[in-house]
């Protein structure tokens, strides 16, 4: 081998090594999936399929994913444990505010999923609204939330920090877009990939 070929091989080996080193620094998604947020989950923790959804309230495909997820849970009764996690995108002006209201809903027992559905079902009504908070409050009222408690909660800077922290942890494991799902620790981006992954998991379970 001549010097040029050897140099090329060394450069390629170093480049591959650098990439692999960076990949090794990425946290293990399985560890993050273990953490449970009881008020933002559906189904039994004993279910064989754990889905963690990273979503943004203002993202249209996330609103479309909601009925698809409901359908999947109905088709696989008792088989799916779903966790909802926030990933508000900076390109959506009301995404963070919606996540803050939802986080506050999760701190009032049994209210999270009601507000979650209301916000996703009426996404077009508030997406570009400069005063989206008023709409979220009206959804919270119809969800039967304690509005005084909600008001104190949404103004607490720690709530925004906790949402941002949740997103930061997701970014560290490689989430870049919404909706993204982790199915038993494996990433599936978009609802089509999620359906395919669930089919793989259920087919595998049948053959075992």
Q: Which is nearer to another protein, 114 or 164 (CB)?
A: 164
Q: Are 53 and 177 in contact (CB under 8 A)?
A: no
Q: Does 128 engage in binding with another protein (CB under 8 A)?
A: no
Placement of tokens 């997820």 in the chain: 69
Q: Which stretch binds another protein (CB under 8 A): 20-28, 33-41, 105-113, 129-137?
A: 20-28
Q: Is 2 in the site for another protein (CB under 8 A)?
A: yes
With respect to another protein, which residue has the nearer C-beta, 12 or 38? 12
Residue span binding another protein (CB under 8 A) among the ranges 4-12, 38-46, 115-123, 124-132: 4-12
Per-residue binder mask for another protein (CB under 8 A), 70-109, x = binder? -------------------xxxx-----------------
Cis check: omega of the bond before 74, within 30 degrees of 0: no
Retrieve residue 138's tokens. Answer: 């009206």
Closest CB to another protein among 154 and 173? 173
Of the pair 32, 154, the CB lying nearest another protein is at 32
For 108, phi and psi rounded to 5 degrees?
-115, 115
Quick one: which of 32, 49, 56, 123 contacts another protein (CB under 8 A)?
56
Among 81, 108, 163, 179, binds another protein (CB under 8 A): 179
Q: How far apart are CA 189 and CA 55, in angstroms?
A: 11
* DSSP 8-class letter at 128: T
Q: At what angle do helices 132-142 and 95-106 cross, to 10 degrees?
A: 30
**Does residue 177 touch another protein according to CB under 8 A?**
yes
Is residue 124 close enough to count as binding another protein by CB under 8 A?
Answer: no
Binding flag, residue 62, another protein (CB under 8 A): yes
Angle in degrees, 0-180, between the axes of helices 112-121 and 132-142, rounded to the nearest 10:
130
30 forms part of the interface with another protein (CB under 8 A): no
d(CA 63, CA 178): 10
Q: In DSSP terms, which residues pair with 52 in a beta bridge?
A: 83, 182
User: Which secondary structure element, helix H or strand E, spans residue 86, and what is its range?
Assistant: strand 80-86
Contacts of 153 (CB under 8 A, 6+ apart): 103, 104, 107, 159
Binding residues (CB under 8 A) for another protein: these are 2-4, 7-8, 11-12, 15, 19, 22-23, 26, 56, 58-62, 89-92, 173-174, 176-180, 187-190, 192-193
């Amino acid at each position: 081998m001549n010097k040029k070929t050897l140099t090329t091989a060394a450069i390629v080996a170093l480049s591959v090594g650098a990439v692999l080193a960076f990949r090794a620094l990425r946290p293990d998604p399985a560890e993050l999936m273990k953490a449970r947020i009881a008020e933002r989950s559906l189904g039994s923790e004993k279910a064989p399929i754990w889905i963690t959804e990273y979503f943004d309230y203002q993202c249209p495909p996330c609103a479309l994913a909601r009925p698809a997820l409901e359908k999947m849970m109905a088709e696989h009764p008792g088989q799916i444990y779903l966790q909802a996690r926030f990933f508000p995108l900076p390109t959506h002006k009301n995404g963070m505010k919606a996540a803050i209201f939802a986080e506050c809903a999760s701190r009032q027992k049994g209210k999270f999923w009601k507000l979650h559905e209301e916000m996703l079902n009426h996404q077009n009504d508030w997406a570009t609204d400069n005063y989206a908070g008023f709409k979220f409050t009206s959804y919270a009222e119809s969800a039967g939330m304690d509005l005084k408690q909600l008001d104190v909660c949404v103004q607490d800077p720690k709530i925004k920090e906790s949402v941002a922290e949740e997103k930061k942890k997701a970014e560290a494991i490689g989430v870049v877009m919404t909706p993204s799902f982790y199915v038993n620790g494996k990433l599936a981006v978009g609802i089509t990939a999620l359906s395919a992954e669930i089919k793989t998991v259920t087919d595998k379970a049948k053959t075992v």
